[in-house]
Structure 1
Amino acid sequence: MKEAFQINKIYSIILLLAGLIGFTARYLEVGDWQFTALIPAFFGLILFFCTTGIQKENAAIGHVAALVTSLLIVMSVVMLTKGIFGDAGWGRKQWIFLIIIAGGIWSLRSQILYFKAQRKRKANQAKS
């Protein structure tokens, strides 16, 4: 299994790219600046800055990254269901939300497993 900080870095880069591509595609298609397309990039930037703290096993930064990832997953699920059940069909936005949800679950799972292993390792060291 990859380390949690590596998965977090990959996920943050995916978010940055998704936001920037969505922002650029909207401008090229419609010709207006849709700043809400930069929301994934904003979250990606936050998670990217958390990568070093996760690598150094800083629990507070790890929890912030998990909270930000969870918030992003919930927001994406809400927006995905709103788009599917609303009048909008399956389009570019829905694919982006699906990628964000899948990547977020992958990242969150790795963070949880990593910090469980870290706690177990520290408990074993304390017993020795």
Structure 2
Amino acid sequence: MKEAYQINKIYSIILILAGLIGITARYFEVGDWQFTALIPAFFGLVLFFCTTGIQNENAVIGHVAALLTSLLIIMSVVMLSKGILGDAGWSRKQWIFLIVIVGGIWSLRSQIVYFKTQRKRKASKNKS
């Protein structure tokens, strides 16, 4: 399994690309800029800057990254359910939400495993 910081970096790049593709596709389809498409890119940028802190085992930054990832997953699930349950068809937005959810779960799982490993390591160090 890859380290949590590597998975966080990959997920943040996916989010940045999803936001940029979303705003670009909207411009070419409709002809206007919808800046809400940059929400994943903003989260991706913040998570990208958290990567170094996660790599250096900074617990605060790791928890901030986990909180932001959880918030993004929840927002995407809500928005995906609105699109699926509404009269809208399965479009570009739904695919982006699905990518954000799956990637977020993957990233969050790696962060949880990382936190558990870090706690076990600190507990065994304190026993010695």
Provide TM-score, normalisation by structure 2: 0.99
Structure 1 residue runs without a partner (length 5+): none
In structure 1, C-alpha distance between the alignment counterparts of 2:125 and 2:78, rounded to whole Å = 43
Task: Give the match for residue 31 of structure 1.
Answer: 31
**4+ runs deviating over 4 angstroms:** none
Structure 2 residue runs without a partner (length 5+): none
Once the two structures are superposed, residues 2-46 of structure 1 have per-residue CA deviations (whole angstroms, 9 ceiling, x without a partner) of: 100000000000000000011011001111010000000000001
Task: Give the match for residue 73 of structure 2.
Answer: 73
Provide TM-score, normalisation by structure 1: 0.99
In structure 2, C-alpha distance between the alignment counterparts of 1:72 and 1:5, rounded to whole Å = 18
Identity of aligned residues (%): 85
Task: Give the match for residue 58 of structure 1.
Answer: 58
Does residue 20 of the first structure (1) align with residue 20 of the second (2)?
Answer: yes
SS at match of 1:88: coil
Matches within 5 A, 1:1-128: 1-128=1-128
Aligned pair count reads: 128
Shift of 1:126: 1.0
